[in-house]
A and B are shown apart, each in its own frame.
Chain A
Amino acid sequence: MFKIACRNILRNKRRSLMCLLISMVGVAVLYLEIGYNTATNDGLKLMSVEQYGDLQIARKGHWDAEKTEQLLLSKNEMESIEKILRDEEAISGFTTQLNCSGILGTEDGSVIVSGWGIEPGNNLGLSYSITSGLNLFPGDQNLVLLGEGVEKKLHVQTEDWVSMMVTTLDGAYNSGSLQVSGTFTTGISELDGFYVILPLTYVQTLLNTDGVEKFVVRLKDTALAPEVKTRLLARFTAAGLELEIKSWSDLAVMYHQVKGMFETIFYFLSLIVFVLVFFSILEIMSMAFFERMNEIGTIRSIGAKRRQVFFLLIQEGLVQGITGGILGLCLGWGMGALINSLQISYVPPSFSDPVPLVINQSVGNVLLPFCIVLCSTILSAFFPAIKGVKLNIVEIMRHI
Chain B
Amino acid sequence: MTMTVIEARSLTKTYLTQAEQVVALKDVNLAVKAGDFIIINGPSGSGKTTFLNLISGLDLPSAGEVFLDGQALHTLSDNHRAELRLRRIGLIFQSFELIPVLTVFENVEYPLVLQRLPRSERRTRVNRILAKVGLEKMAHRFPAQLSGGQKQRVAIARALVTRPQVVLADEPTGSLDSSTGEQILRLMLELNNTYKVSFLIVTHDQAMNKYAHRLLEIRDGVLTEKECGTDVQDRLSQYSAQ
Contact = CB atoms under 8 A, between A and B. Distances in A.
A304 B100 contact: no
Given A302-B91, A305-B83, A8 B101 contact: yes
Contacts of B82: 300, 303-306
Interface residues of A, number: 26
Given A305-B79, A305-B82, A4 B87 contact: no
Contacts of A400: 93-95, 97
B53 interface: yes
Interface in B90-142: 91, 93-95, 97, 99-102, 106, 110-111, 113-114
Given A308-B114, A394-B53, A394-B58, A303 B86 contact: yes
A294 B85 CA distance: 18
A306 B78 contact: yes
B58 A302 contact: no
Interface of B: 53, 56, 58-59, 78-79, 82-87, 89, 91, 93-95, 97, 99-102, 106, 110-111, 113-114, 158, 162
A21 interface: no
The 8 closest A-B pairs by CB, nearest first: A303-B86, A7-B101, A298-B97, A303-B85, A394-B59, A305-B82, A305-B79, A393-B58
A129 interface: no
A295 interface: yes
B59 A301 contact: no
A7 to B, nearest CB: 4
A302 B86 contact: yes
Contacts of B86: 302-304
B85 A301 contact: yes
Nearest to A9: B101
Contacts of B97: 294-295, 297-298, 400
Contacts of B89: 303
A304 to B, nearest CB: 5
A3 interface: yes
A198 B129 CA distance: 95
